[in-house]
Amino acid sequence: METLTCSLLIQSADIETKILDCAENFSSIQIAEIFKNPFDAFEKLNKTCSDILFVDIDFLHFNPVEFFKMINRPTFIIGLTENREKVLDLLDDGFFDLLFNPFTLEDFCKKIGKVIRIVQDIKANRFKVNAVSDNDLQYSIKQPLPLQKEFMFLKYRRVSTKIRFDDIIYIQNVGNVLKVFNENGAFFYHGSTLCKMLRSLPSNRFIRLNKSIIVNFAKIDKMERHLIYVKNQSFKLSRTYSYQLMDVLNKND
């Protein structure tokens, strides 16, 4: 049986020790890395991808959706949390399954035993799985992704406007709505948030620069320290999203 690599993104020493002790009962998994903050995890996981990643949600305050877009995603991501009321939100944020704290050795063995089997199947057959709740231990296979669309509809006040991704220059958050600017200098409103909007856009073509701006990577004219220039406009690049830009740059080298 192939040994699977497992990484931990955990600040709590108690939880780290508990997982290490429980993992000793499985010869088929090997703890490869233990990270204390997302920045260290980003640097390492983009070089060597783990099969299983444990993330301590309660101790690490960051946006899981954005983080998972920036890293070379592990085959299976398990969130550890004490909050049983946010199951659906956490699964929507990119976790495939959850392990609730405090957990016993029996809880860990039941969970990791199922995860090991599904990860081995994924690696052998190259399919992906849908997230599941802790009450539903049946993992379902995702269907092959359809061909990527080249457009989307912007919806605002009962009006839907079709726009091609290539025509979008940048997107700005202006309170409760977004302004989407096109090649002609015009803009359209869209009732959404930047986080949700980013999920609707091709991940390899659009990047978030700060709390207010998403830009089309192909439209960037110049980069200067913490400033990004797009069509004679400058936008500040925050440290939080600079890693995503680095990742896109590496993929486009």
Residues 213 and 111 in one domain: no
Instruction: Name residue 54's amino acid.
Output: F
Q: What percent of the chain has pLDDT over 70?
A: 83
Please report the pLDDT score of residue 125 as a whole number.
Answer: 63
Domain boundary among 107, 125, 143: 125
Banded pLDDT at 250 (limits 50, 70, 90):
low
Please report the pLDDT score of residue 141 as a whole number.
Answer: 44
Domain boundary among 90, 125, 160: 125
Residues 189 and 82 in one domain: no
Interval 115-136: pLDDT, tens: 888 887 777 665 555 555 444 4
**Higher pLDDT, residue 148 or 7:** 7
Please report the pLDDT score of residue 128 as a whole number.
Answer: 55
Residues 191 and 240 in one domain: yes
**Higher pLDDT, residue 147 or 166:** 166
Residues 115 and 11 in one domain: yes
Angle at 252 between CA 247 and CA 253, to 5 degrees: 100
**With contact defined as beta carbons under 8 Å apart, do 227 and 237 qualify?**
yes
Decide if 142 is inside a domain: no
Residues 48 and 157 in one domain: no
Instruction: Name residue 37's amino acid.
Output: N
Banded pLDDT at 212 (limits 50, 70, 90):
very high
Interval 85-98: pLDDT, tens: 777 777 777 788 88
pTM of the predicted protein model? 0.52
* Helical packing angle, 13-23 and 105-125, nearest 10°: 70
Asked if pLDDT for residue 144 goes beyond 50, the answer is no
Coil, helix or strand at residue 127: coil
Residues 120 and 217 in one domain: no
Residues 108 and 167 in one domain: no
The maximal CA–CA distance of the chain, rounded, in angstroms, is: 62
Task: Give me Rg for the CA atoms of the chain.
Answer: 20
Decide if 145 is inside a domain: no
Decide if 64 is inside a domain: yes
CATH number of the domain residue 198 falls in? 2.40.50.1020
**With contact defined as beta carbons under 8 Å apart, do 154 and 161 qualify?**
yes
Residues 191 and 245 in one domain: yes
Decide if 131 is inside a domain: no
Residues 116 and 189 in one domain: no
Residues 106 and 168 in one domain: no
Domain holding 163, by residue range, is: 151-251
Instruction: Name residue 1's amino acid.
Output: M
Residues 110 and 20 in one domain: yes
Decide if 230 is inside a domain: yes
Q: From start to end of 36-158, where are the E strands?
A: 52-56, 76-81, 97-100, 151-156
Domain boundary among 80, 107, 125: 125
Decide if 155 is inside a domain: yes
Residues 208 and 97 in one domain: no
CATH number of the domain residue 49 falls in? 3.40.50.2300
> Who contacts 98 (Cβ-Cβ below 8 Å, separation ≥6)?
78, 79, 80, 81, 87, 90, 91, 133, 134
> In the beta sheet, which residues pair with residue 159?
156
Q: What is the mean pLDDT of the chain?
A: 81
Please report the pLDDT score of residue 223 as a whole number.
Answer: 84
Of 253, 246, 227, residue with least CA distance to 238: 227
Please report the pLDDT score of residue 132 as a whole number.
Answer: 52
Interval 18-45: pLDDT, tens: 999 998 888 888 898 898 888 788 778 7
The number of distinct structural domains making up the chain is: 2
